[in-house]
Amino acid sequence: MHESARPALSVVIPAYNEAGNLATSLAELAGFVTQLGVGSEVVVVDDGSTDGTADVVRSHRDAWPETSALRLISHTRNRGKGAAIRSGMLSVQGDHAVFTDADLAYGTAHIADLLRALQTGADVAVGCREHHRGFVRRATGFLYRNLVRRTRLVRVRDPQCGLKAFRAGVAGLVFGLATVDDFAFDVEVLVIAAEQGFEIVEVPVRMRDPESDTGHTHGTSVHLVSDTVRMLRSLRRIGLNRRSGLYVVPAPTPRARRIVPSAAASVPDTAPHASGPEAGDDPE
């Protein structure tokens, strides 16, 4: 894609030691952005990997679709998923920005679903999982959802689904105010979006079946005890930040604060279906 062309879509992929998954995911994303038929970019944020994750991204550049761009951002050390996504989302150039996991746990069809929600007026589209894959994911999902629910910080049903989409101006504002590097970052960005009065919609999504998706290694990097303690601390900090007014900046035009339930996610088909000081763009 010509450097002066503004892409319609940016896809951000946080990656920590994901060389194996990225080899498959980037090939799938190349097919998706080609079928999409609009200018796009895929931004991979290497969060201090030690397994050649960055090399995999570089190896895909020569064969990348001409209507798209593949960019690499590298952290010199592992800083956390929240920090990786923040680096990527603050660098995007697209009209719409999506982040998803390196194993494409939700496939690419749901990226199109979230885009349709944005195209019909939403500011933020949040995936809402119909089921959690694997015992650890189910256990941590249940625990974290209940922790978040008790804080009353957000009203969405599945705040930590790893698939979210933002209008570009919204992404810049929200992630510019975000501070959390760990797994509570999802909660923080939703709190910021709500405090700014942005419209948030929930879109039903399904996770892939690991048995049929043989090209990826599906798992979780969550450590139940240590990450739960860390999350409790982060949730407390998010609550303090909200009460202190740190998540609000003046807006030229007030927006109505509204969360649209999942049922409202059925929208007209306007997109195709397809199955930090230490961060910087890779110079190559």
Let me know: does 88 contact 73? Beta carbons within 8 Å: yes
Which one, of 238, 129, 219, 246, lies nearest residue 181 by Cα? 238
Q: 45 has which bridge partners?
A: 14, 73
Name the token pair of 135: 């015992």
Residue-wise pLDDT tens digits, 169-216: 899 999 999 999 988 999 999 999 999 999 999 999 998 876 565 465
Q: What's the confidence (pLDDT) of residue 151?
A: 72
Q: What's the confidence (pLDDT) of residue 189?
A: 96
Please check the confidence at residue 77 and state whether its pLDDT lies above 80.
yes
Q: What's the confidence (pLDDT) of residue 284?
A: 46
Residue-wise pLDDT tens digits, 210-267: 656 546 565 555 555 666 788 889 899 999 999 999 998 865 544 544 444 444 444 3
Query: What value does the mean pLDDT take over residues 6-13?
Result: 95
Q: What's the confidence (pLDDT) of residue 208?
A: 82
Residue-wise pLDDT tens digits, 59-72: 999 999 999 999 99
- On whether the pTM is more than 0.85, the answer is no
261: left (phi over 0), alpha (psi -120 to 50) or beta: beta
Query: What value does the mean pLDDT take over residues 143-150?
Result: 68
Q: Which amino acid is at 270?
A: T
CA distance 106 to 179: 26
Cβ-defined contacts of 22-28 (< 8 Å, 24+)? 22/53, 22/56, 22/57, 22/102, 23/56, 24/215, 24/216, 25/102, 25/103, 25/104, 25/216, 26/56, 26/57, 26/60, 26/70, 27/60, 28/104, 28/108, 28/215
The H helix count followed by the E strand count for the chain is 8, 9
Query: What value does the mean pLDDT take over residues 139-166?
Result: 79
CA distance 10 to 91: 10
CA distance 213 to 272: 22
CA distance 10 to 40: 6
